[in-house]
Structure 1
Amino acid sequence: DDPGMYSSQNEQDTRMVARAAMLPVLEPSDSAEAKEFTKYAFDLSEKYDTPVIVRSTTRLSHSQGLVELEERTEPFDIPYERDMAKYVMMPGNAIKRHVVVEARLKQMAEDACGFPVNKVEYNDCSVGFITSGIAYQYVKEAMPEASVLKLGIVNPLPRRLIEEFAAKVEKLYIFEELEPVIEEQVKSWGIAKAVGKELFTVQGEYSANMIREKILGQTLDVAAAAQVPARPPILCPGCPHRSVFSVLNKLKIHATGDIGCYTLGAVAPLGVIDTTICMGASISTLHGMEKAKGRDFIRNWVAVIGDSTFMHTGINSLMNMVYNQANGTVVILDNSTTGMTGHQDHAATGKTLKGQVVPAINIFGLCKSLGIENVYEVNAFDLPGLEETFKRETAKDGVSVIIAKSPCALLKGVKFPDKCRPLSEKCKKCGACLRPGCPALTKNEDGTISIDETMCNGCGLCKQLCKFDAIETVKAGE
């Protein structure tokens, strides 16, 4: 989960999902527990015959700590047995399994008080906290003298353990990030003294300072942050997406966007993407807009989607456009990797996540196989080619696909031998090269430009945009 939405579109609380699905949830509070709880999750899964969720949050996932390793336990093979009542979920079987799931959760709730993942710390009983996960660390930092019930299992809750703890403390605070999952259940049991979201927010990430302010009433004397230049989110130097978006911007073409680095095409100076919902939604959003608003409305629209996202959930959406006789242009930004999340391979790269070489799915051929006649592959840095193709295909009826292909600027093994260098004596100070927002380019006080050669990879976008030949391409090191 992502309290504070550092890289998410919502502050989903997986505990809510688990309650609806009637699944157990373990929530570690540090790196060592993350490892131990994962191991314990397998024990619970095998004992109760259930999936188990191990919940992590952004802060925990980005933390580091000492972890003790143990001797490896070899997994034992469980022989397969045919069980239609369990594995064939037709209505007659499903209604019986619902009874099993309810009984299983009830049994886990009764047993949860004895699970070793829960920890009770009795200190000063004038104040007590019920907490879990990374929030436990904030409690220990701000009020180390307080009594604490740290829940390792947060669904189902160990009711008897909570009631015993609540009875021994005078003031009781429930300190949990995001939704009041623990709080609502505790209060439903008649523990009226529990204080939670009346004091602490439902939104955002918690901290030790929140406890200091809300409970201790401390005014924090925070030193002024150093004045550093703003660093807005921006595409990398040499990113092929920047080239595509600069052409779309020039042509005043809007885009339905998707999930990836290219989502940054929504912000200045590119400002092309108007919608971003979820993986694969760019194509289906364009499809829906055309059906709702008509062909003329989307003549200056395209859907943009990355190659990895297309392989993940874009194919079905494109197939539906063809099947429903839609009109629209889909631009697949093929940078030969999954750029945003760490350069994982996918089905069109020709390698598995383990690096094994396998047959690569050909995106061009795949689109053709769906019955799309107008499929074109264009170099993502070929500005004239992109412009001509965008103009032609957005004017056509039917479905067309443009594959803008060039490797990610950060892709390992890809060599960029050239650099771009400004020729100040030719510069007319028009700023055309600066418009795409490449961070390698900066404007000098006299209006000319400088190019940071440590950042530039010689993609040539700025050189193509300059009408006065004021930028040259040189070999790196010259």
Structure 2
Amino acid sequence: MSERILMLGNEAIARGAYEAGVTVTVAYPGTPSTEITENVAKYDEIYAEWAPNEKVALEVGIGSSIAGARTLVCMKHVGVNVAADPLFTVAYSGVNGGLVLVVADDPGMHSSQNEQDTKFFARAAHIPLLEPSSSMEAKEFVKKAFELSEAFDTPVIVRLTTRISHSQGIISLMDRQEMPLKNYEKDFQKYVMMPAMARKRHTIVEDRMNRLEVEASNLGINEVEYKNKKIGVITSGIPYQYVKDAVPEASVLKLGILHPLPKDLILEFCKNVEEVYVVEELEPIIEEQIKSWGINVKGKELFTKQGEYSANLIKKVIGKENVETRGPLPLPARPPVMCPGCPHRGVYYVLQKLKIHATGDIGCYTLGALPPLQGIDTCICMGASVSMVHGVEKARGKEFVKNWVGVIGDSTFVHSGITGLVNTVYNQGISTVLILDNRTTGMTGHQDHPGTGKTLKGEPTHTLDFELLCKSVGIKHVRSVDPFNLKEVESVIKEEVNREEPSVIIACAPCELLDKKTKRILSNINQDECKTCGICMKIGCPAIQKKQGVIQVNDALCNGCGLCIEVCAFDVINREKDSVVNY
């Protein structure tokens, strides 16, 4: 009997890759998908790496697949935007070793800038998509995806959502199936997508999808359960769990494959029930396809397109019950803030002090947009800050942009900021870019990247030198500053934004959460001399609090970075020598 244990959905995906005989795994970290690759890296049988971005990750995966290896590529939903270029074309070229792309969508935008639905990508790219509804299915669907990939010569997408990725379920552990590398044979008609070859491959793709549609009803990953035939529910993924809880008496068709839809199975189910509901989070992709077949189903006219669903929501709509919809008791506001001791805080304080606008980017430093720092004006996507500040200049002129900077983190700069910098130099821009280098990929949980000097497996490797890189693309003025030295930061920013040439400022200090060895001497406010002016509150440090009109340092939060000491205009904050924190 196989061992049964609890696993997160992301852990189960990693286990499924191991059991499927995967040879190579490539990813770019992004919540809620990050833990997949971190767990894959624990299996010595699988080579795993972090790529600089999702496009590179998929391209590495395609090369691995063509070379004959079963290959897993992982990312979050917005990462598919970055990887879309190779994704659409590998659907034409097909695979050699199985190629599976795991994408974690984020309904509710718990850690994302939009709620896009990966099912759209599957339909547009003509790639089959599977969606598990539990940890056990996550593991098994990965294995099924590799079988389909090789049987139909296609990449396959496995779609997760935050609740599947980050909730636990019982899975059964099985042995690894060793998969020898498939033979590689040079075939330019298959793998070189010039127009003449691509036209032929397009017809092959259409034929493949037609065959998959027939096969979809017999894959063994869709489940039909007939109970009360007055109500039938078609659903998939985590909403299936809510449906079972909300309307246990209903007949249910749980779809395991969402593209192509198992048409025969759906038509048969709809004939056998009186009223059909389609319960799917985000976009009505399943619903609209079923309606296009002439089937009357109920869906988004009753359910929202926004956010996550719940058992209560489904019970209210389908169960026709007077469900209590009052929200939970209000809790104290807890806005997201940068950690005490964060090296980014001082930079934003200076930007606000100088009244400088900033195009921002994706990462921990995005939190600098919030009061009291309010240090950035925009946040669109990875790498956008560098290109956007250049766009500001071209729209409003050189004098206008001297009051702007682009702000980007180290991992994000490697991800997609470098090309924007090249563009600025090439098109004779003069904008200033701040690279906030905290030596890690902070927001997603401290993953390594080319600037940290370590691989995913923890092996030492070449460390990307940002200063040399910036100079190599044509930036003559590259300055490095200590973000905790506010006078230095202010002086350098003033100087660089007023240049008639592009410049880069690198504010380098490791993420506070990475340093567990340094002894920190806490800050202390001399209450007898404090003027309660509130300047120290403007740095937005959670450790500095005002209670009953008195400003004080919370020793439980302070880590002794000393930023408050620098900003105090009356020198009433000092080091409390008797208070030492060991991290």
> What letter matches 2:177 in structure 1?
T
Q: Does 1:239 align with 2:338?
A: no
Using the alignment, how far apart are the partners of 1:378 and 1:234 within structure 2? 23
Alignment-mate amino acid for residue 175 of structure 1: V
Contact 1:417 1:475 survives alignment (8 Å): no
Larger radius of gyration, structure 1 or 2? 1
Distance 1:273 1:223 in 2: 36
Superposition deviation, residue 415 in structure 1? 2.3
The residue type paired with residue 283 of structure 1 is V
Q: Distance in 1 between matches of 2:578 and 2:410?
A: 30
Aligned to 2:262: 158
**Aligned to 1:462, which of 534, 541, 564?**
564
Contact 1:123–1:146 (Cα < 8 Å) also in 2: yes
Give the corresponding residue for 2:27: none
Aligned to 1:472: 574
- The match for 2:352 among 249, 252, 256 is 249
Instruction: Give the whole-Å Cα distance in 1 for the aligned partners of 2:255 and 2:327.
Output: 36
Q: Which one of the candidate residues 162, 170, 183 is aligned to 2:274?
A: 170
Superposed CA offset, 1:29-58 (max 9, x none): 011111111111111111111100000011
Superposed CA deviations along residues 242-290 of structure 1, whole A, max 9, x for unmatched, are 1100000000001000000111111111112111111110000011111
Letter in 2 for 1:453: D
Q: What does 1:18-417 align with in structure 2 at a 5 Å threshold?
A: 18-192=122-296, 194-221=297-324, 225-413=328-516, 415-417=518-520
Aligned residue for 1:309, secondary structure, equals helix
One-letter amino acid matched to 1:171: E
Q: Deviations over 1:280-326 (max 9, x none)?
A: 10000011111121111111100000011011111111111111110
Q: Deviations over 1:398-432 (max 9, x none)?
A: 10100011111111545252221221122111111
SS of the aligned residue for 2:276 comes to strand
TM-score (norm 1): 0.97
C-alpha distance in structure 2 between counterparts of 1:223 and 1:95, whole Å: 56
**Is this contact kept in 2: 1:417–1:476, CA < 8 A?**
no
Equivalent position amino acid for 1:311 in 2: V
In structure 2, distance between residues paired with 1:256 and 1:422: 35
Of 379-388 and 417-426, more deviation after overlay is shown by: 417-426
For residues 461 and 341 of structure 1, what CA distance do their matches in structure 2 show?
A: 25
In 1, Cα distance between the equivalents of 2:323 and 2:273? 27
Greater CA drift, 329-338 or 410-419? 410-419
User: CA-atom RMSD, angstroms?
Assistant: 1.3
The one-letter amino acid of 1:448's match is V
CA distance in structure 1 between the partners assigned to 2:515 and 2:178 by the alignment: 35
Report the equivalent of 2:70.
Answer: none
Distance in 1, matches of 2:518 and 2:259, equals 51
How big is each residue's C-alpha offset from its partner over 1:116-156, in whole Å with a ceiling of 9 and x where there is no partner? 11000011111000101111011100011110000000000
Give TM-score, length-normalised by structure 2.
0.80
Matched residues in 2 for 1:301 and 1:410: separation?
A: 30
User: 2: distance between equivalents of 1:253 and 1:275?
Assistant: 13
8 Å contact 2:246–2:319 — kept in the other structure? Answer: no
Instruction: Tell me if the contact between 2:132 and 2:159 (Cα under 8 Å) persists in the aligned partners.
Output: yes
The number of equivalent residue pairs is 476
| Corresponding letter in the other structure for 1:118 | N
> Which letter maps to 1:376?
R
CA distance in 2, matches of 1:4, 1:233: 16
Secondary structure of 1:326's aligned partner: coil
- The letter for the 2-side match of 1:114 is N
Query: Whole-Å Cα distance in 1 between the matches of residues 424 and 480 of structure 2?
Result: 20
Amino acid aligned to 1:28: P
Name 1:424's counterpart in structure 2.
Answer: 527
Q: Which structure 1 segments of 5+ residues have no match? A: none
Letter in 1 for 2:153: D
Task: Summarize the Cα distance change of 1:183–1:224 in structure 2 as closer, same or farther, 3 Å threshold.
Answer: closer
Contact 1:304 1:330 in 2 (8 A): yes
Assess, with a 3 A threshold, how the Cα gap between structure 1 residues 277 and 476 changes in structure 2: closer, same or farther.
farther
- The whole-number CA distance in structure 2 between the counterparts of 1:409 and 1:389 is 23
Please, which moves more after superposition, 31-40 or 415-424?
415-424
Indicate the residue corresponding to 1:449 in structure 2: 551
CA distance in 2, matches of 1:6, 1:30: 20
Secondary structure, aligned partner of 1:275: coil
SS at match of 1:114: coil
Determine the structure 1 residue equivalent to 2:118.
14
Change (3 A) 1:179 1:228: closer
| CA positional deviation for 1:226 | 4.1
Decide whether the 8 Å contact of 1:441 with 1:451 is kept in 2. yes
Match of 1:34, SS state, is helix
SS in 1 for 2:541: coil
Q: Equivalents in 2 of 1:199, 1:226: separation in Å?
A: 26
Q: CA deviation at 1:219?
A: 2.7
Percent of aligned pairs with the same amino acid = 57
In the alignment, is the contact (CA less than 8 A) between 1:246 and 1:436 conserved in 2?
yes
1:352-377 C-alpha deviation (Å, 9 max, x unpaired)? 11111012011111111122111100
Question: Aligned partner of 2:524: which letter?
Answer: R
Secondary structure of 1:71's counterpart equals: coil
